[in-house]
Structure 1
């Protein structure tokens, strides 16, 4: 069982980083449209607050979460509808109130996860999650929606070692990405070799695999969270299956959407 201590610390730091970027915005800044169609910066933070709240319920009241989830997911498109509805409701709040809600919720979630015994598992929108997996998923979401925020503000966010968690979930969701599109995943494992922000090699899969992906860890994270088009990234595939995966990689639940247009 993975020790969640490190990822919980990184989740806290990722949230604080994004918090600092939005806390000084005027109301007009919160209303700026982001690359996610129809979503402002307020929608991005509202979405994180809502999903952190859902995670908190899953951890502390799993039966209540399961009942709410099953009711919300009555149809194939209901998850996306729920996401948009909850983000829209939160975005209508005054920015100071929305930010306060997000801060309180993510603090409560961090405390709840840190208090869990070894081996604990919680229901979620996909398979049940361990403490480390839940924290990793929340970090991935925070980082991805934070990317939309910094893109909107026109600032560059320095990549950190926290990307290891995002990269790992991007690799581990390979078969999920195929399933989301009704495709049969490859039977053999891929070798994925990524260069970390510090120049370290992050490697996944057997060294002798014929299907291989190499490139910057940041680029795989941007691809798997569908924040950049593949054409704008320095990822290289060796093998037909690996090449196909780079076209469909997806690390988050829900429909893949249309993705982002190439920036050139």
Structure 2
């Protein structure tokens, strides 16, 4: 099918930006092949990108294999956009240690380790603090837990608000230090400098002067594909 001038312009001026967990995939799981195939079809009409809190290796593990992810998406924003890829190449990288300084960073890490040492949970595993370029990811149970243990902790967290209480303690201890906290997924929360949430990538996108940016996130799965069909493929939106 020939690409019209209007269609070509829309591809250049419209971006669909997707969260990863809960939008393109279940939390920390691989993308469904049908969803992956649809995204490439969508890419024929608009530019597509992903923004996730995880580091690039975890995003790549969920959405493809190795470096193919930066080839399948026009934009890849890892770690809330503090690590940015555009059209297959690394665009920029920011680090939390340079922004916060070593003293504040160590105070933060030490507080978290002490707090978790006093927690009594049904299970604890390993990797309680994951150090990323743009954030610290804190997990009271430990990120090396199994899927079954992850679900068990998530259910307990809903009842006892383990992460919520942890975050409140951090907000009190580090008030006025320019830190923000975000609970997401099932077992952890992120700590990052003010302004380094998923909106961080918008500064980069502003330079590319898109007419429209559609953002899909916060538990839109399993409706993500259907919503995209309704917007960009209305002629097939009601097909099974």
| TM-score, length of structure 2 as denominator length | 0.24
Structure with the greater alpha carbon radius of gyration:
2
Say which structure, 1 or 2, has more relative contact order (CA 8 Å, 6+ apart): 2
Higher strand fraction (1 or 2): 2
Higher helix fraction (1 or 2): 1
